[in-house]
């Protein structure tokens, strides 16, 4: 009879109501407003956004291999993954409080009493027992324990979305660093070619000066231009070396292959095109927005726990087993016993601490609502900015390419006229400087265009599905790796 009563009480506890408010998404939800991107963006082609996974987006095979290496070895990402694993374990600990736990205990005691104490000679007594029982299980009639479990779950889910954000951010950062390194290497090669051109010009000016066809001012100007170009070479050598170190730190492991080459000018040879539709509902798939929503849900659940604290807490302690003075009769029918000890705690007066805890929970939820709305607004701005960058950087790059072609013609003509003595060296020097500046500007605008495409991919939550499925960045993989290392240490 008592066992049936205990089962009924446990079932009632498991079916306890929740006092958490009904969760509703914020009114800033862009999927219901139908709001689109900036009207000035000309890259909208369909109503659906085609967002490839990151390996498809990164068309350069060498870049793909570097990103894969970074996902395996980046220290910040490893730390993030382990933090998520810890929060997942914490949720399991919290959720376990919803269910009764069973403890088993066995004990034995043998006592000898002296004749001086008893007056009847030495006496011996023995006690043996074996019990199984439930220790301090709370009947969750008002949903306090369930709300705490929900809070822990949502906190873990928010951290999981943070892990996905870290994956996407790392892919974007490695890609941008790689392209910047390629651009600096190209600028270094350009500055070295400029030095060679200035050296050839200086040799020609020196010959003309020795023959009396040029003056000392022209010779000095030629030397000044050469030394300035040599200084520029040193600057780009430093930029290339520092860029490699930055990429090496992001990867977290040695980059075996030497990173040579330059930014390709062919469309789609390093980054694939992105088709961005007019709807902004895709923003809700961004991991940072999803993390903000999970945080909001966690605070919502915490309100339920704070409300339940105003009501009585009922705990059950029960055990059943056998007890005997001898081992021979320990498991006999006469040795069985049981005990059942319910307890109730009712808050009466604690100087407003319970009310203050509820106030804190409600204030935290309001702050989370603002953070969620802000995350959506930030995402909307980042996508709009990246779309504008795609449009206007493309226009700038086309203009810079036309400017470069014009400067190349200008330089060839000035060089020919100087060699024939038709123009002064200052005309040639101006053409050389203009050509170098035009090449530098064209490369810079191309890099800006590619970087804005990476920013667009990231702003749209780029590769978030692939990031979720990435084996090397999963919590499960991290735990398996830890277990494998532990087994290796034990051996």
pLDDT in tens, 412-437: 898 888 777 777 777 878 888 898 89
- pLDDT recorded at residue 14: 47
Structural domains in the chain, sorted by start: 18-98+141-180+234-310+360-485 (1.20.1600.10)
Cα 286 from Cα 51, distance rounded (Å): 12
pLDDT digits over 159-207, tens only?
999 998 999 999 999 999 999 999 999 999 989 988 988 888 888 888 8
- Which residue, among 196, 202, 425, 219, has the nearest Cα to 417 in the 3D structure? 425
What is the mean pLDDT of the segment spanning 96-117? 77
- pLDDT recorded at residue 329: 66
The answer to whether 287 touches 461, Cβ cutoff 8 Å, is yes
Cα 313 from Cα 142, distance rounded (Å): 9
pLDDT greater than 80 at residue 268: no
pLDDT greater than 50 at residue 27: yes
- pLDDT recorded at residue 337: 72
pLDDT greater than 70 at residue 11: no
| Residue-wise DSSP of 206-244 | HHHHHTTSS-HHHHHHHHHHHHHHHHHHHHHHHHHHHHH
More confident residue, 400 or 56: 400
pTM above 0.85, yes or no: no
- pLDDT recorded at residue 46: 45
pLDDT digits over 89-101, tens only?
999 988 888 888 8
116 sits in which H/E element: helix 115-118
User: Band of the pLDDT at 340, cuts 50, 70, 90?
Assistant: confident
User: Band of the pLDDT at 438, cuts 50, 70, 90?
Assistant: very high
Least confident of 31-45, 179-193, 198-212, 230-244: 31-45
- pLDDT recorded at residue 354: 85
pLDDT digits over 371-388, tens only?
999 998 998 898 889 889
State the DSSP code for 306: H
Phi first, then psi, for residue 99 (nearest 5°) are -120, 145
Structure tokens at 343: 């307890």
Cα 198 from Cα 187, distance rounded (Å): 16
pLDDT greater than 60 at residue 283: yes
Least confident of 71-80, 146-155, 162-171, 276-285: 276-285
Distances (CA, A) of 243 to 65, 185, 249, 361, 465: 18, 10, 10, 46, 30
Structure tokens at 282: 């895709």
Per DSSP, the three-state class of 34 is coil
Half-sphere exposure of 52 (CA within 13 A, CB side): 13
Instruction: Give the residue carrying structure tokens 């939550």.
Output: 461
Q: Within 10 A of 210 (CB to CB), how many other CB atoms are there?
A: 10
Cα 179 from Cα 43, distance rounded (Å): 23
164 sits in which H/E element: helix 144-210
Task: For the chain, give the number of residues.
Answer: 491
Q: Within 10 A of 195 (CB to CB), how many other CB atoms are there?
A: 19
User: Band of the pLDDT at 156, cuts 50, 70, 90?
Assistant: very high
């Amino acid at each position: 009879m008592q066992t049936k009563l205990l089962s009924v009480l446990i079932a009632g506890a498991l079916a306890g109501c929740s006092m958490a408010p009904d969760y509703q998404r914020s009114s800033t939800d862009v999927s219901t407003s139908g709001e689109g991107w900036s009207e000035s963006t000309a890259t909208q082609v369909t109503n659906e956004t085609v967002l490839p996974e990151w390996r498809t987006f990164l068309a350069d095979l060498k870049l793909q291999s570097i990103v894969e290496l970074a996902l395996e070895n980046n220290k910040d990402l490893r730390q993030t993954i382990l933090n998520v694993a810890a929060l997942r374990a914490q949720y399991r600990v919290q959720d376990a409080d919803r269910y009764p736990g069973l403890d088993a205990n066995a004990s034995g005691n043998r006592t000898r009493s002296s004749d001086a104490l008893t007056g009847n000679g030495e006496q011996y007594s023995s006690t043996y027992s074996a019990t199984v029982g439930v220790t301090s299980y709370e009947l969750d009639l008002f949903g306090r324990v369930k709300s705490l479990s929900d809070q822990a779950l949502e906190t873990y889910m928010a951290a999981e979305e943070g892990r996905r954000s870290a994956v996407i951010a790392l892919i974007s950062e490695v890609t941008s660093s790689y392209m910047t390194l390629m651009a600096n290497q190209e600028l270094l090669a350009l500055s070295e070619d400029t030095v060679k051109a200035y050296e050839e010009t200086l040799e020609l000016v020196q010959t003309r000066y020795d023959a009396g066809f040029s003056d000392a001012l022209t010779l000095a100007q030629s030397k000044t231009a050469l030394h300035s170009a040599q200084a520029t070479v040193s600057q780009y050598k430093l930029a290339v070396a520092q860029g490699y170190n930055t990429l090496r730190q992001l990867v977290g492991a040695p980059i075996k292959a030497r990173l040579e080459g330059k930014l390709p000018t062919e469309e789609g040879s390093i980054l694939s095109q992105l088709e961005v539709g007019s709807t902004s509902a895709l923003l809700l798939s961004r991991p940072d927005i999803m993390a903000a929503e999970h945080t909001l849900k966690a605070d919502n659940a915490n309100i339920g726990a704070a409300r339940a604290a105003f009501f009585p807490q009922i705990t059950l302690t029960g055990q059943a087993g056998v007890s005997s003075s001898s081992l021979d009769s320990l498991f006999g029918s006469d040795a069985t016993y049981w005990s059942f000890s319910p307890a109730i705690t009712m808050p009466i007066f604690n100087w407003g601490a319970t009310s203050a805890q509820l106030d804190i929970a409600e204030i935290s939820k309001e702050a989370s609502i603002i953070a969620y709305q802000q995350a959506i607004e930030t995402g909307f701005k980042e996508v709009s900015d990246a779309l504008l960058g795609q449009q206007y950087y493309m226009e700038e790059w086309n203009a810079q390419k036309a400017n470069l072609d014009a400067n190349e013609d200008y330089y060839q003509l000035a060089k020919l006229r100087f060699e024939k003595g038709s123009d002064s060296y200052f005309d040639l020097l101006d053409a050389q400087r203009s050509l170098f500046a035009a090449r530098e500007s064209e490369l810079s605008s191309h890099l800006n265009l590619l970087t804005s495409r990476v920013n667009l991919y990231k702003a749209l939550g780029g590769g978030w599905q692939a990031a979720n499925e990435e084996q090397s960045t999963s919590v499960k993989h991290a735990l398996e790796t830890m277990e494998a290392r532990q087994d290796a240490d034990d051996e």
